[in-house]
């Protein structure tokens, strides 16, 4: 392959690659993997790791061989983040921080090339969501405090030739003023916030379905179940706005994100930007459509070049052709996190499944889940629900039907439960409290 990254990160080339035959895409990926591994070897961490296993990036002959390389874990990063920075004349132009949800925040340096790559990623996502040059996009996401998501979306809109409205996560009154005054055709934001925004507008006499907004790109919370059907939150969002909602998933460390297309059948894997695997508990690749841990190698990254990074998120990879026309694999909705995996009476469950059940009950105003240690290899789960009516038996029955076990349900006034969640603070709303003893 003789194409430069600049050529690859362009709309015409990107579209062509997404409809190319599998063999053609794999040839491109193999070449990019070799490039990426050569650059990763300039970091102290990967240089040592490759030397220990006697591996040379130029010796990579197939994608199957790539699966033999060691996995990179969050613990590897936490031991010494700087060991994953390239040596030499390396000057980042932007420093981002992860949310710190599952540990200490990680510093992720971005070079100018990394930011260009990031913009291309989001440009392709917006393009597949039907957004085009000249369209106005309201960004209800934060662009400061070392967050990367807001910058990524902003860059994608600009790269596409659209107009970005940097509203941020402001109060509903301000957002509706922007909608009325600047007339965006799309909004980017956290789905629960966008739902409240629509409801607030309706209460003030605005009809969200008549606002001109046709596209909602969501971040931070799932709006689809494992079978791709909408969650209660996702369905309510589309109904309130009369718009199409697109789910997206990403992480600061990955410098890449996945976003739904018009078929709403998972987030397309961009072949020139990432190599994605799904593995089981033993680290082996699982068959297409089976659930497992998402492992990502973000190709072409300069500032923080990860190799086979274990995200800790559970999902499925779908490889059948997509009805949208793109032939690239698609990552299904996140079904849970390994760190949050619970074992209750011999059954494995994830908090996310509990959340989805609760969201389908309209009387539930707020909720959170606590996990406690019961005895060896078993957990005790308490579900705290905020509601102003007695829902305990209804919730217990619905949870048992979905989970096959019946966790303890405690119903408190809605304000009390909401106060607990608000007090927890953080960049993301906390709904799971892991109080299990560390062995």
Q: Write out pLDDT tens, residues 311-346.
A: 999 999 999 989 999 999 999 999 999 989 998 887
Claim to verify: residue 293 and residue 416 sit in the same structural domain: no
Using the 3D structure, point to which of 304, 335, 366 is the last residue of a domain: 335
Give the Cα-Cα-Cα angle 290, 296, 300 (nearest 5 degrees): 145
Band of residue 187 on the pLDDT scale cut at 50, 70, 90: very high
Claim to verify: residue 261 and residue 286 sit in the same structural domain: yes
Tens-place pLDDT, residues 85-135: 999 888 899 999 987 655 678 999 999 999 999 999 999 999 999 999 999
Claim to verify: residue 15 and residue 60 sit in the same structural domain: yes
Claim to verify: residue 222 and residue 260 sit in the same structural domain: yes
Claim to verify: residue 371 and residue 248 sit in the same structural domain: no
* Residue 5 belongs to some domain of the structure: yes
Q: Parallel, antiparallel, or unpaired for β 215-218 and 186-189?
A: parallel
Q: Is 20 exposed, middle or buried (0-12, 13-18, 19+ CB in 10 A)?
A: middle
Q: What is the DSSP letter of 73?
A: -
Range of the domain at 132: 1-335
Using the 3D structure, point to which of 280, 310, 335 is the last residue of a domain: 335
Claim to verify: residue 100 and residue 63 sit in the same structural domain: yes
Tens-place pLDDT, residues 268-311: 999 999 999 999 999 999 999 999 999 999 999 999 999 999 99
What is the CATH classification number for the domain harbouring 416? Answer: 3.30.300.30
* Residue 95 belongs to some domain of the structure: yes
Residues 6+ apart with CB under 8 A from 59: none
* Residue 201 belongs to some domain of the structure: yes
Using the 3D structure, point to which of 310, 335, 360 is the last residue of a domain: 335
| C-alpha dihedral, 32 to 34 to 36 to 41, nearest 10° | -170
Tens-place pLDDT, residues 206-257: 999 999 999 999 998 889 999 999 999 999 999 999 999 999 999 999 999 9
What is the CATH classification number for the domain harbouring 189? Answer: 3.40.50.12780
**pLDDT at residue 3 is higher than 70:** no
Residues recorded for the chain: 439
* Residue 36 belongs to some domain of the structure: yes
* Residue 392 belongs to some domain of the structure: yes
Q: What are φ and ψ of residue 80, in 5° steps?
A: -165, 95
Structural tokens at position 192: 């629960």
* Cα 198 to Cα 179: distance, rounded to the nearest angstrom: 11
Claim to verify: residue 168 and residue 263 sit in the same structural domain: yes
Q: Which residues of 48-62 are buried (b: 16+ CB within 10 A; e: fewer)?
A: ebbeeeebebeebee
Claim to verify: residue 331 and residue 372 sit in the same structural domain: no
Claim to verify: residue 173 and residue 75 sit in the same structural domain: yes
Q: How many domains does the chain have?
A: 2
Residue 103 pLDDT = 60
Claim to verify: residue 307 and residue 393 sit in the same structural domain: no
* Residue 439 belongs to some domain of the structure: no
Q: Parallel, antiparallel, or unpaired for β 330-331 and 244-251?
A: unpaired
Distance of CA 206 to the CA centre of its chain: 31
Claim to verify: residue 319 and residue 377 sit in the same structural domain: no
Claim to verify: residue 315 and residue 430 sit in the same structural domain: no
Looking at every residue in the chain, the average pLDDT score rounds to: 92
């Amino acid at each position: 392959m003789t194409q430069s990254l600049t050529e690859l990160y362009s709309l015409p080339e990107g579209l062509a690659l997404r409809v190319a035959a599998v063999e053609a895409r794999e040839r491109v990926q193999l070449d990019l993997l070799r490039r990426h591994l050569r650059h990763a070897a300039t970091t102290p961490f990967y240089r040592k790791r490759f030397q220990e296993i006697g591996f040379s990036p130029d010796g990579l002959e197939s994608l199957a061989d790539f699966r033999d390389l060691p996995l990179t874990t969050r613990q590897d990063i936490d031991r010494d983040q700087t060991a994953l920075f390239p040596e030499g004349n390396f000057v980042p132009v932007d420093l981002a921080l992860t949310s710190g949800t599952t540990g200490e925040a990680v510093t992720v340096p971005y070079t100018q090339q990394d930011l260009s790559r990031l913009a291309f990623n989001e440009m392709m996502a917006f393009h597949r969501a039907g957004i085009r040059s000249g369209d106005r996009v309201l960004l209800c996401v934060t662009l400061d405090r070392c967050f990367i998501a807001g910058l990524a979306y902003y860059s994608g809109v600009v790269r596409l030739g659209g107009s970005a409205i940097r509203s941020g996560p402001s109060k509903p009154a301000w957002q509706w003023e922007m909608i009325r005054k600047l007339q965006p055709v799309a909004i980017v934001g956290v789905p629960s916030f966008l739902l409240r925004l629509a409801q607030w507008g309706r209460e003030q006499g605005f009809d969200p379905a008549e606002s001109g907004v046709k596209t909602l790109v969501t971040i931070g919370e799932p709006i689809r179940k494992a079978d791709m059907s909408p969650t209660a939150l996702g369905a309510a969002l589309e109904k309130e706005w009369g718009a199409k909602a697109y789910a997206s998933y990403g992480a600061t460390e990955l410098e890449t994100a996945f976003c739904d297309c018009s078929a709403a059948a998972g987030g397309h894997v961009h072949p020139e930007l990432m190599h994605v695997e799904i593995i089981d508990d033993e680290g082996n690749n699982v068959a297409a459509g089976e659930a497992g841990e998402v492992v990502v190698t973000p190709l072409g990254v300069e500032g923080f070049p990860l190799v086979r990074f274990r995200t800790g998120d559970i999902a499925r990879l779908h490889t059948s052709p997509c009805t949208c026309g793109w032939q690239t694999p698609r990552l299904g909705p996140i079904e849970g996190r390994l760190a949050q995996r619970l074992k209750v009476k011999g059954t494995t469950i994830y908090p996310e499944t509990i959340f989805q059940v609760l969201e389908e009950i309209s009387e539930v105003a707020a909720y959170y889940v606590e996990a406690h240690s019961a005895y060896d290899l078993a957990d005790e789960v308490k579900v705290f629900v905020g509601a102003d009516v007695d829902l305990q038996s209804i919730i217990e029955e619905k949870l048992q039907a979905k989970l096959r076990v019946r966790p303890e349900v405690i119903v408190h006034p809605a304000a009390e439960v909401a106060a607990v969640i608000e007090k927890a603070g953080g960049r993301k709303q906390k709904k799971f409290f892991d109080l299990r003893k560390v062995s």
